[in-house]
Amino acid sequence: MPALATIVDWTALWQTAIASLVAGLGVTLAASVAIYGFASFAEARRDERGGAAAAAAALAVVASLAFAASIAVGLIVMIQG
C-alpha cells in the first residue's frame, strides 16, 4: 500500500476534483442567470414594464460579465499552467 500512496497524490487529486466541481457549477450558474436575465428583459420590455426590464437587463449584463470572466480566468490558468 505505501507504493500506491507515493504514486497517487490523493490530496492534490481531491483538491482538483473539488475545484473542477465548484468551477463547473459556477460557470453553469452564471450562464443560466444570464439567459434568465435576457429572457426576463425581453418579456418585461414586451409588457412595457420599464423598471423590471431595466433590472433584468442589469442582471443579464452582470451575469454575462461573470461568465466571461470565469472563461477568461480558465483560459489564463490553462495557458500559464
Distance of alpha carbon 36 from alpha carbon 47, whole angstroms: 16
Give the pLDDT score at 3. 62
Give the pLDDT score at 9. 86
What are the mean pLDDT values of the chain's consecutive 10-residue runs (81 residues total)? 70 92 95 98 96 98 97 92 70
Cell of 65: 460579465
